[in-house]
Structure 1
Amino acid sequence: MHQTAVKPAGKYRWTICALLFVATTINYLDRQVLSLLQPYLEEQFKWTNTDYANITAVFQFAYALSMLFAGRIVDWLDTKWGYGWAIILWSLAAMVHALSIQIGEGVTALLGWAGISLFSVSVTGFIVSRTLLAFGEAGNFPAAIKAIAEYFPKKERSFATGIFNSGANIGAVLAPLTIPWIYANWGWESAFIIVGGCGFLWLIFWLIFYEKPERQKRLSLAELEYINSDREIQLDQVQPAAAERKITWMRLLGYKQTWAFIFGKMLTDGIFWFFLFWLPAYLKAQYNIVGEGVMIPLATVYSLSMIGSITGGWLPMHFIKKGYNVFEGRVKAMFIIALFPLAILAAQPLGDISYWIPILLIGIGAAAHQAWSANIFTTVSDMFPKRAIGSVVGMGGMAGGLGGVFVSKISGALFDHYKELGHIETGYTIVFTVSAMAYLIAWSLIKLLVPKYKPVVLD
């Protein structure tokens, strides 16, 4: 049974949301530095599309595996230090990219003694650096989603998630506005060092301002009551001993709700990874736009994404106010959102008119992805108790990362194949078609697995 809703008093929960927003901005800023430097590094180190695909695919694979354990670690350490250690690790790893060539020389020499030769020195070095970055960055979303579940009532969670998740787009906007300039003035190594250092500034504010709501001295009693106003009574409130029992992955995999989240992430995460990692390469291959010329097109795409993230987070609230329960309102919103990526189907056919047409259509697709993301993340806190949220988000994140590996590897192979044939645009047409259809397929699977709202009771 739901408790009676009370009028919100206080806004401290939005301070926490702002901290999550900034952390997610830094997270995506760190991971996009490489994609913006790719045209320069490609020329300097003689990379092929397959070389670059290998670097991005290893990052995504390491991110996927790390997501699985990151969720468990966040549940174990709890939100404050789970997030704190995550940003320490990924900020250090971002800065380590500046030493990728030295790392590559050392690893290549070590493998050479064992008679193993896999990649060039530069590719090897960046693979090692990206693996370290993936390990740290995997903690961002499990920790952030858990923080939202702690600080917001269910009816506000998708909106709050949409706001903090829009940080991904701010990071993606800031990157093309800053990285080419830093490269031009100080070199590619400086871009990694400067951006990587931002995480340590955030950490200071996080440690000062974050505590669990029950221990948060800056949170009024009235706001705490509002935060808890529409939550169902959790088992760990009435059976504390049950809350201490370990929740295994195998047990969580026994619920259709877990698989709905896993499939929803696996089929759609790779699409946004593609936009993030391959758009600069697309602009170069199709329109010979490089350097500072990519700044405005990419900023446009990710500005649209930011609007999509916030709007998508708000949309379920519209249906909830009309009388839908939280989950039904969210699923209805997700269906509407899943229709928008179909616009990407027109990107290649209309691209000959102006490169701005595919940019705007891809921007619509990216906006839809972020709207989708704001809602699919929130389905976990809709259906699972707080003590399982990090683990379930981690499992879905792993699935999404593996989907990203598949998209990246297939994309690189397609682009190299059709480039040799003199028709690289065909490769992009294939990938854009898959991107357009993925969300409707994912929505159908979610609806099939969880046709009606059914919260998980673990004990």
Structure 2
Amino acid sequence: MTNYRWTICLMLFIATTINYMDRQVLSLTWKDFIAPEFNWTDANYGTIAGFFSILYSISMLFVGKFVDKIGTKKGYLWAIGIWSVGACLHTFCGIVTAGISTGTWAFTFEGAREAIEAAETAGTVIWSVSTVSIWLFLAARSILAVGESGNFPCAIKVTAEYFPKKDRAFATSVFNAGAQLGALLAPFTIPVIARYMGWEMSFLIIGALGFFWMGFWVRMYETPSKQKKVNKAELEYIEQDRLSEASETSKPATEEKKEKGISLWKCFTFRQTWAVIFGRCLPDGVWWFFLFWAPAYVKDVYGYSSDSTMGMLLIFTLYLISMLSIIGGYLPTVFITRLGMNPFAGRMRAMFIFSLFPLLGLFAQPLGNISCWFPIIIIGIIGAAHQSWSANTYTVVSDMFPKSAVATVTGIGGMAGGIGSLLFNQGSGILFTYSKETNMSFMGFEGIHAGYMIVFLIASVAYLFSWIMIKILVPKYKIIEI
């Protein structure tokens, strides 16, 4: 049997790595490089992160249907092409800000910085540098959000095409580990590029990676039945679920019939869809909070900049620990194959286990008074639990819905995750600015420390609450029939 399905999984892994590196550039550069230049506050950054999240979520609602319609090959090309363009456009926000706010158009990055500094010193700024820069970054983030929203609907649909149900959670956890690898590479590359070449080049260099991936995808991807590198034995392994169902009903399964689609609004009438929504909303908000705010947390609470050796080591350690999610992705396979559980029951048992680990977040801030390594390790464990949880939430979709609707429902789940991210990021930005200005107190913590304690408290119980809601909505395994 050939194993070309794992080559395709590797392509998904690389795409997800690029996806998260593009997403991380802003979080690793804004506090130390961009904010001083444009006078941003935490609330300003929270607005940008929140706007990205809500546009990402809205796009997810429709991109899944788009991918189901045009197919994964073309869909993935569109997605990564758009987000790579959006990532590269961030590069020119400084130049355009200088031109609009000062009336002086410089065509080099350093010239733009000098124009802004000179205008602010002389008091000749036409438009607020902060306001103009925020709007330009919002525009670039909009394009990035629309493109990035296609990654997971495409990847989950490809996984459903290339893997049987019992292997999908593990395959998903493998390609989903690209998120952690992207986050691991980011702190050792992006701040260094920003320090020595300017923050603009960090967006340009990382953004260009997607265009290289597109060239390989065009040559390497075809559906399993059309892929010459997939032999008969591997194709039978991939299609074992369909063949088994056909055997049970005594119907021939020589060819895969085209399945009926499900309209976007019809999907919302199923309890299974709402289970996916609850499984993604709060948990994704927690993950995106750590993704967007971890560098700022290290700087605000412990004073380490993103380009300092200690700052890079802390962020690297956080995401290195989160790589343990690959093991977590294999856990449902153990329950399914060794205990004979159906796919949904196996995943729900695994997800309950994963929902308990984030409770460690309740101790992150108190232990941080002893050493900064304690909260970093705890956040890393929560990250590993999240990615394990996420891999199974994605796979639950392909368990309960026909392939023709997988990308659509995955998109709906992504929309829910984006809304959760909006609430976490926008709310956190406002909370942190307020906590600094008022020196608020909460559970023995003051100022920004109190703000982070509140967020850790919410993040810690989010997964257990979500698991309970999924269990209420779908107490037993039931496949959608159309």
Equivalent residue number for residue 121 of structure 2: none
* 1:246, distance to aligned residue in structure 2 (A): 4.7
Hey, what's the Cα distance between the residues in 2 that align with 1:413 and 1:396?
26
Q: Distance in 2 between the 1:106 and 1:244 partners?
A: 54
The aligned residue for residue 449 of structure 2 is: 425
1:445 and 2:469 aligned: yes
Q: Which residue number corresponds to residue 314 of structure 1?
A: 330
Distance 1:416 1:193 in 2: 30
Q: How many residues align?
A: 442
| Equivalence for 1:376 | 393
Amino acid at match of 1:199: G
Counterpart pick for 1:48 among 33, 41, 65: 41
- Match for 2:229 among 210, 218, 224? 218
Amino acid at match of 1:312: G
Q: How does 1:188-337 map to 2 (within 5 A)?
A: 188-231=199-242, 233=245, 243=258, 246-293=261-308, 294-308=311-325, 310-320=326-336, 321-337=338-354
Q: Name segments (4+ residues, structure 1) moved above 4 Å.
A: 102-109, 116-119, 232-235, 240-246
Contact in 1 for aligned 2:15/2:210 (Cα 8 Å):
yes
Structure 2 Cα separation of the partners of residues 420 and 49 of structure 1: 11
SS in structure 2 at match of 1:254? coil
1:38 counterpart letter in structure 2: W
CA drift of 1:44 comes to 1.5
Q: Secondary structure at the match of 1:47?
A: coil
1:133 maps to which of 107, 132, 144: 144
Aligned pair in 2 of structure 1 residues 244, 451: CA closer, same or farther (>3 Å)?
Answer: closer
- Aligned Cα root-mean-square deviation (Å): 2.2
Sort the Cα spacing of 1:411 and 1:17 in 2 relative to 1 into closer, same or farther, 3 A.
same
- d(CA) in 1 for partners of 2:372 and 2:435? 20
The CA deviation string for residues 119-171 of structure 1, in whole angstroms up to 9 with x for no partner, is: 71111111111111001000000000000000000000000000000000000
Structure 1: unaligned runs, 5 residues or longer: 1-8, 110-115
**Contact (CA 8 Å) 1:66, 1:135: kept in 2 or not?**
yes
* Mapped partners of 2:214, 2:239: distance in 1: 27
Identity rate, percent: 51
Shift of 1:233: 4.3
Aligned match for 2:3, one of 11, 17, 25: 11
1:118 to 1:335, Cα distance in 2 relative to 1, 3 A: farther
Change (3 A) 1:292 1:241: closer
Answer whether contact 1:64 1:397 (CA < 8 A) is retained. yes
Is the 8 Å Cα contact of residues 259 and 403 (structure 2) preserved in structure 1?
A: no
**How has the CA–CA distance of structure 1 residues 215 and 241 changed in structure 2, closer, same or farther, with 3 Å as cutoff?**
closer
Q: Distance in 1 between matches of 2:100 and 2:394?
A: 38
TM-score, normalised via structure 1 length: 0.92
| Match in the other structure for 1:65 | 58
Offset, 1:73: 1.0
Cα drift, residue 292 of structure 1: 2.2
Q: 2:16 maps to which residue?
A: 24
- Which residue pairs with 1:179 in the alignment? 190
Paired residue secondary structure (1:24)? helix
C-alpha distance after superposition, 1:244-274 (max 9, x if no partner):
7552122111111010001111121010100
Report the Cα distance in structure 2 between the residues aligned to 1:241 and 1:306, rounded to whole angstroms: 36
- 5 Å matches for 1:163-174? 163-174=174-185
**What does 1:149-164 align with in structure 2 at a 5 Å threshold?**
149-164=160-175
Aligned-partner Cα distance in 2 for 1:385–1:107: 51
Larger Rg: 2
**Residue 184 of structure 1, CA deviation:** 1.3
Alignment TM-score, normalising by the size of structure 2 = 0.88
**How far apart, CA to CA, are the structure 1 residues paired with 2:63 and 2:229?**
28
Q: Retained in 2: the 8 A contact 1:167–1:306?
A: no
Which of the residues 72, 78, 84 maps onto 1:79?
Answer: 72
CA 1:385–1:178: 2 relative to 1, 3 Å: same
Compute the displacement of 1:101 (Å): 3.2
Partners of 2:259 and 2:404 within 8 A in 1: no
CA–CA distance in 1 between the matches of 2:197 and 2:375? 32
Alpha-carbon separation, structure 2, partners of 1:117 and 1:252 = 45
Q: Evaluate the alpha carbon distance shift between residue 156 and residue 242 of structure 1 in structure 2; reply closer, same or farther with a 3 A threshold.
A: closer
Classify the secondary structure of the residue corresponding to 1:230. Answer: helix
Provide the residue aligned with 2:367 in structure 1.
Answer: 350
Aligned to 1:362: 379
Q: Counterpart of 1:315 in 2: which secondary structure?
A: helix
Aligned AA for 2:329? G
**Are residues 19 and 339 of structure 1, via their aligned partners in 2, closer, same or farther at CA, if it must alter by over 3 Å?**
same
Q: Distance in 1 between matches of 2:141 and 2:40?
A: 16
Q: Deviations over 1:28-86 (max 9, x none)?
A: 00000000001121111111110000111111111011111110111111011100111
What is the distance in 2 between the residues matched to 1:56 and 1:100? 16
